[in-house]
């Protein structure tokens, strides 16, 4: 597991910043009245174009990809698309509080996947710091309220498992495939699958968000793309566990942007949670 240098730290902060803002802008779009599936469909169209433009210099290297590498890249994209669609469904049949916290259980699931796929063990210190951040996240996201199981909670947990698998599996693929090619396949394949799947459910209404809320679609597509770039480049530098654990700090940025853009405030319990996230993140950076 690598040390956290300035470049890695910049990517880790980038994940939290871009994803934290993404959650708030996405909420603004949904509050505006955009259909969740149409939102995902329209954003995926934009993401495909952004990916093709951004990674166009790298596409010439696709001819050097071996069959087993292509298989792994396709698996990564399919799992990603499934996770996005399951998350949309799960969020609709559970509470925002449940979904907001349960998706952040991802670092717990990274541990067994990293051991199985990478033969990698995390230090006791890093696991302890992860639990500090996870506790802080619970207090910040849930305001310390007890989470009662909902039908959609199992789907959210499946998404957390899928994200953990993606992060570890991507690190495995990086042994032989460039990070940018992995990002391209991860983003494009998942976006193409969503574009193919959603019309079966919504028909012509699939593109409604593209016309009714182009601003929200465009901004969330850009933020999503930037967060994925930061995420996978951080995985390359410091591994999936540290990357996924530091991702918990995204809830801090979500709370900050929610205050600025939506006028939402935080309780004293949530401030304690925020302090826990900052403490865990600081210790993670300094001690690993």
Q: Report pLDDT for 149.
A: 67
- Residue 1 has a pLDDT of 45
| DSSP-derived secondary structure for 144-184 | TPPPPP-TTHHHHHHHHHHHHHHHHHHHHHTTTS-HHHHHH
What are the pLDDT digits (tens) for 191-234?
999 888 888 877 777 888 888 889 999 999 999 999 999 999 99
Query: What's the pTM value of the predicted model, to 2 decimals?
Result: 0.83
pLDDT digits 0-9 by tens, 173-192: 998 999 999 999 999 998 99
* For residue 97, pLDDT beyond 80: no
Task: Provide the 8-state DSSP code for 94.
Answer: S
For residue 171, the model assigns a pLDDT of 93
Q: How far apart are CA 177 and CA 195, in angstroms?
A: 26
Q: Where are the alpha helices (DSSP H) in the chain?
A: 6-32, 36-54, 67-92, 96-102, 106-118, 124-142, 153-173, 179-197, 199-202, 208-212, 214-238, 240-246, 250-257, 268-287
pLDDT at position 232, please? 94
CB atoms within 10 A of CB 197: 18
Residue 251's pLDDT is 77
Query: pLDDT band at residue 49, thresholds of 50, 70 and 90?
Result: very high
Chain mean pLDDT for the chain: 84
pLDDT at site 269: 83
Q: How confident is the model at residue 288 (pLDDT cuts 50, 70, 90)?
A: low
First vs last C-alpha separation in the chain:
9
What are the backbone angles phi and psi of residue 154, rounded to the nearest 5°? Answer: -65, -35
The arithmetic mean of pLDDT across residues 37-47, rounded, is 90
């Amino acid at each position: 597991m690598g040390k956290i240098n300035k470049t890695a730290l910049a990517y880790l902060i980038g994940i939290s910043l871009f994803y934290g803002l993404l959650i708030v802008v996405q909420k603004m779009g949904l509050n505006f009245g955009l259909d969740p599936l149409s939102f995902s469909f329209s954003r995926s169209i934009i993401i495909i174009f952004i990916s093709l433009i951004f990674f166009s210099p790298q596409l010439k290297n696709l001819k050097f990809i071996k069959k087993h590498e292509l298989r792994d890249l396709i698996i990564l994209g399919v799992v990603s698309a499934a996770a996005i669609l399951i998350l949309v469904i799960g969020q609709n049949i559970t509470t925002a509080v449940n979904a907001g916290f349960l998706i952040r259980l991802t670092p717990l699931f990274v541990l067994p996947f990293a051991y199985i796929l990478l033969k990698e063990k995390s230090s006791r210190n890093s696991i302890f710091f992860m639990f500090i951040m996870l506790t802080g996240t619970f207090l910040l996201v849930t305001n310390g309220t007890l989470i009662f199981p909902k039908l959609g909670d199992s789907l959210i947990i499946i998404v957390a498992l899928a994200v953990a698998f993606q992060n570890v599996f991507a690190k495995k693929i990086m042994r032989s495939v460039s990070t940018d090619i992995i990002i391209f396949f991860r983003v494009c394949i998942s976006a193409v699958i969503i574009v193919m799947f959603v019309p079966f459910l919504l028909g012509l209404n699939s593109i409604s968000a593209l016309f009714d809320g182009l601003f929200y679609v465009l901004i969330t597509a850009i933020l999503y793309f930037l967060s994925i770039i930061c995420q996978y480049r951080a995985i390359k530098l410091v591994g999936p566990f540290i990357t996924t654990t530091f991702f918990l700090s995204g809830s801090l940025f979500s709370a900050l942007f929610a205050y600025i853009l939506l006028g939402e405030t935080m309780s004293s319990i949530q401030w304690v949670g925020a302090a826990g996230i900052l403490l865990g993140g600081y210790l993670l950076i300094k001690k690993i």
